Amino acid sequence: MDFNVKKLASDAGVFFSRAMQFTEEKLGQAEKTELDAHFENLLARADCTKNWTEKILRQTEVLLQPNPSARVEEFLYEKLDRKVPSRVTNGELLAQYMTEAANDFGPGTPYGKTLIKVGETQRRLGAAERDFIHSASINFLTPLRNFLEGDWRTISKERRILQNRRLDLDACKARLKKAKAAEAKAAAVPDFQETRPRNYILSASASALWSDEVEKAEHELRLTQTEFDRQAEVTRLLLEGISSTHVNHLRCLHEFVESQTNYYAQCYQYMLDLQKQLGRFSGTFVGNAESTSPPPAAASPPAVAATLPAVPTIPVVPTIVGVPNSVAESVLNPNEVKPPASGTRKARVLYDYEAADSTELALLADEMITVYSLPGMDPDWLIGERGNQKGKVPVTYLELLS
């Protein structure tokens, strides 16, 4: 019990001494041991690394999981060291709704078929998103979190110890300074004092007493200086390790970018496949105008044919049941027709397109081609020309330019 009381009293005395030293430094009444410039730069770099790592970590978590409630739930599961339950992604939930709607509307109807195709693509997008989130969490978030919860806590602990060692060192310097000042003052006055009226007692030499105090203060100063230097070296080594942390985070960043690239590449490929599947169906004109299903033969010409000048020299020959219409076939054969003398339009290709047969023209995204319409053509198709190449192209893959 005595040992505990003595230790408690000693700790309280050390705390009080540090508090007084810290307060006097803040008030400008005490000197402070300054660290060298290189050490200060290491401290600033470590603080900068910690602050930006926290921000990057939090924002990446928001990117991967925008729902704050879900993030809180995952945080609690992590702290409780329990497995986070599997959660359906938004794409997978949308795919489920589309599939159920297609079953209600009729899977054999055009709308139902399209819902099924789009729903399947949304399911694949949701699965790709799940894989991306899992990969990013392991390869990027976990190393950042380990740094903040492991290495940075160790650095912070050693920095606090170094701060206490510095306060102890400065307190010893202050005591030594006061002891030397008192020693010099005692050497300048008589070494006796009047303690009682009419009774002079020769006191012990005050100068000798203060000399002992100075020696004691110098001994404590040497000890605290040694402890401070040792702690400063430990902290310096940890701070220099921030460079290794940057190298590790750089590698993790590359892995994150690779995962994100694969994810978006998958999404692009899935949507491109879906666009190709829907390209032969009547639908929305991408970036141009809306179109419905092909009109009957007696209906008026479609909107696309109105916007693109038709070849005026080729008449429209109706088809007779049971009789081959060689004239109509020659009109719709792109290899045997000539473009109109004027009125052709330029178009920018939105997506890559592979020709299904020799009558179609293969396309590359972002290239420019010349397009025009022929009488009797399907409104979802145009004649496209690129140099000496000519063929039918789907309107949904084009952006018509003025």
Alpha helices in 297-362 (DSSP H): 303-307, 326-332
CA-closest candidate to residue 155, choices 40, 47, 54: 47
Q: Which residue has the tokens 């399209």?
A: 114
Burial (Cβ within 10 Å: 0-12, 13-18, ≥19) of residue 237: exposed
The torsion angles phi and psi of 198, rounded to 5 degrees, stand at 55, 20
pLDDT of residue 30: 65
Angle at 125 between CA 120 and CA 127, to 5 degrees: 95
CA distances from 220 to 77, 159, 223, 227 (A): 50, 22, 5, 11
Separation CA 24–CA 28 (nearest Å) = 6
Please state the φ and ψ torsions of residue 389, each to the nearest 5 degrees: -90, 145
Could you tell me if 350 and 337 are in contact, meaning their C-beta atoms sit under 8 angstroms apart? no
For residue 194, give the H/E element and its range: strand 193-196
Candidates 127, 136, 367; CA nearest to 267 is 127
Question: Rounded CA gap, 20 and 27, in Å?
Answer: 10
Q: Return the amino acid letter for 225.
A: Q
Query: What is the rounded distance in angstroms from the CA atom of residue 334 to the CA atom of residue 392?
Result: 7
Give the Cα separation of 402 and 399 in Å (integer). 10
pTM passes above 0.85: no
Ramachandran region of residue 202, left (φ > 0), alpha (ψ -120 to 50) or beta?
beta
Q: Which residue has the tokens 């023209």?
A: 361
pLDDT at 118: 95
- Pairwise CA distance, residues 169 & 159, whole Å: 15
Q: For the chain, state the CA radius of gyration.
A: 42
Tens digit of each residue's pLDDT, the chain (402 residues): 455 666 666 666 666 677 776 776 666 666 777 888 999 999 999 999 999 999 999 999 999 888 787 777 776 777 677 776 777 888 899 999 999 999 999 988 889 989 999 999 999 999 999 999 999 999 999 999 999 999 999 999 999 999 899 888 888 888 888 888 887 777 766 544 544 443 333 444 566 777 788 888 889 889 999 999 999 999 999 999 999 999 999 999 999 999 999 999 999 999 999 988 887 554 433 444 333 344 443 333 444 433 444 444 444 444 433 334 443 344 456 566 666 666 688 999 998 898 988 889 999 998 999 999 888 888 888 999 998 899 999 998 999 886
Return the CATH fold of 31-189+204-285: Substrate Binding Domain Of Dnak; Chain:A; Domain 2 (1.20.1270)
Biggest alpha carbon distance in the chain?
152
Q: Return the pLDDT at 324.
A: 42
Query: What is the rounded CA–CA span in Å between residue 116 and residue 298?
Result: 33
Task: Detail the DSSP E strand segments found in 213-350.
Answer: 345-349
Residue ranges, CATH 2.30.30.40, the chain:
344-401
344-401 under CATH 2.30.30.40, yes or no:
yes
Structure tokens at 33: 């041991």
Write out the H or E segment, with its range, that includes residue 201. strand 199-201
User: What pLDDT score was predicted for residue 287?
Assistant: 40
H/E element, 392: strand 389-394
Cβ neighbors of 396 (< 8 A, separation 6 or more) are 275, 278, 279, 283, 284, 285, 286, 380
The residues of the chain that CATH labels 1.20.1270.60 are 31-189+204-285
Q: What is the pLDDT of residue 59?
A: 94
